[in-house]
Chain A
Amino acid sequence: MNRLPSKKKIFEKMLLIRKVELKLLDLYARGFIRGTVHTCIGQEGCAVGVISAIDIKTDIIFSNHRGHGHYLAYCDDVKGLIAEILGSSEGASAGVGGSQHLHNNNFYSNGIQGAGVPVAVGMGLAEKFTGSNSVTLAFLGDGTFGEGVIYESFNLAALLKSPILFIVESNGYAQSTPTHLQHSGDFGKRAEPFGIPITIIDGSRVEEIIKITKKIIQDIRSGLGPQILYLNTYRVAPHSKGDDFRDQDEIIRMSKLHDPLTPLAQEINKLEREQIEESIELRIQKILNELGINL
């Protein structure tokens, strides 16, 4: 069993995602970016926690409309991501896909809510048929639970024992609408009738996510069928760009509770933290220079 990555390494990965996305919002505000930017600010622990627990070489990820964090945690391709969102042909998808349509080795994403979930179940099944031992991950949000196809997909995954882990990043909102205004019942029980085990944890506790995901992935790899990892998190930034009408007190209170960077930052000494921050900023600046963006 692989050892856990160091606290410093985990912190660095999450901070990279945070800084890249803050820069993207800045670039958007300055008119460098067309279309939309769905950031995962506040949810970096989910991306880094889960993806630190998989085998990057062989496992498969199917991400969604909010996938920058997943992408960076998977392949660290900062330049490809920023270039793609800037609409450059140097981008990860050569400027065709944009923010929501990224592909790199075993990483895929698509912008239609829930639509990637059955595709991921099929990818898992293909790997099972070829005997590759790979596990497929499908990322979805609590808002995605409004799409019917995910329940069809849960059923198929359990029935066919597709080696897949569904990761739900439950951030409390679907675009602008809070969860309680669009969903009845208990999310924790939504997959119960399909016999899919669900593990519910705090999405800001990265090290715990890594440990638990490793165990779940091991079970799935050994042929026990699909599982759900349900991560309670909070989206600090707006759904996209800057159109946020949420209560500011709520954002401050929830950010304090759920920001995955805060607890880890306290465990790393100040000098190291500053070095990490500086090197990330330099890296992003260098990429922007290479792409001809002068702020």
Chain B
Amino acid sequence: MNFTYLESLNNGLIGALTANPNVYLIGEDLNDPYGGAFKVSKGASYARPTQVISTPISESAFTGLGTGMAIRGMRPVIEIMFGDFITLCTDQILNGATKFTTMYGKALEVPLLIRTPMGGGRGYGPTHSQSIEKMFLGIPNLTVVSPSLGHNPGNLLRQSIENITNPLLFVEYKSLYPKKLISSDEIINIREVENPEKHPVVLAKNFTSGEPDVIVITYGGGSEQLFEVMRSLAIDEIRIEGVLPSRIDLKGEPPWWFDLIKTDIPIIVAEHGTPGTTWGTEIASLLYESFFSTLTMPIRRLSCADEVIPAKVSLESSMMLTSEKLSQAVIEMLG
């Protein structure tokens, strides 16, 4: 039961392939025994050999390939080896897959799912460590989903593969792959709140009664730092409520889970990725728009630095969102 993020995704992916012969997995180096660079796809080609297409290094073409297959009734899952490489697919996503859904004046189903790992923390250096999903958060007809350690990533992946009618970008965090999923324990209480669109929000608390001192809103890879800080500050009885949405695209409307947020408490919006025009800035802006009259405390944003992600470990952590930086921000918010 106590799966890692990676094992959960692997189960969800193979489950989706096994359940529906129209699901195809497409990407580089997928064939077993190698099973894809990060092993989310491991065992897929053994289990469903005719549904796995191991491709040449041609991200643009195989994203287009998947789009064509999706238009003609298949449910392709594209694996992009590193999130950084999704720039190579951008034309196909922006000017192709997402446009086909509405640009012919009638609805056309394009059930294309693209999954890719973002983030640093593993020493891959500047072109293999970024979190660039912010570039994809405002594209019409593109849903972006990123599970945290508090979610069930495999279920979320499988449900997305099975239910989508429009393209979906599924952002995994490579730093989370080896981590155990978090469930409630003596320090942290986890509650998953469902919504009709099946993009659950996880609410996490490091206290049992009363109001939090600080609310931290984050997603995906940010959950690692959030849970570490919740544990370490529980000792000092600093009460943190974590809010972890799984759907992160924003189209100018407040997300449904804003109803779950108390507005008279300081809020930190934390994320990986470089600062400037980000998920966090949009969330902060929407919070001000939605709750201006009831906000009594400041909203603070945290992200990685405005620089490349270095390879050397000390330099890398100096640029990234770390537990230390999040912890310090929480303490500063308490005044």
Contacts and interface: CB of A to CB of B under 8 A. Distances in A.
By size class, the interface of chain B is: 20 to 34
Given A101-B104, A110-B95, A152 B68 contact: no
Nearest to B66: A122
B19 to A, nearest CB: 17
A160 B53 contact: yes
Interface in B54-72: 55-56, 58, 60-72
Contact of A156 (B58, B70, B76): B58
Interface stretch (A90-98, A220-228, A229-237, A287-295): A90-98
Nearest to B57: A152
B74 interface: yes
B102 interface: yes
A115 B71 contact: no
Nearest to A129: B74
A156 B74 contact: no
A149 interface: yes
A141 interface: no
Determine which residue in A60, A96, A156, A159 has the highest number of CB atoms from chain B within 10 A of its CB, and name it: A156
Contact of B62 (A94, A124, A156): A156
B76 to A, nearest CB: 8
B71 A110 contact: no
Contact of A118 (B73, B92, B108): B92
A201 interface: no
B92 to A, nearest CB: 7
A121 interface: yes
B74 A152 contact: no
A156 B71 contact: no
B58 A152 contact: yes
A94 B106 contact: yes
Nearest to B106: A94
A226 B68 CA distance: 16
Contacts of A97: 103-105
B79 to A, nearest CB: 15
Contacts of A29: none
B128 interface: no
Interface in B9-24: 24
A217 B298 CA distance: 67
Contacts of A96: 102-105
A122 B58 CA distance: 14
5 contacts: A94-B104, A96-B103, A110-B100, A122-B65, A123-B69
Interface of A: 60, 62, 91-97, 101-103, 108, 110, 112, 115-127, 129-130, 148-149, 152-153, 155-156, 159-160
Given A112-B96, A122-B72, 18 more contacts: A94-B104, A94-B105, A95-B105, A96-B105, A97-B104, A112-B95, A115-B64, A115-B95, A117-B64, A118-B65, A120-B68, A121-B68, A130-B73, A149-B64, A153-B61, A153-B64, A156-B56, A156-B65
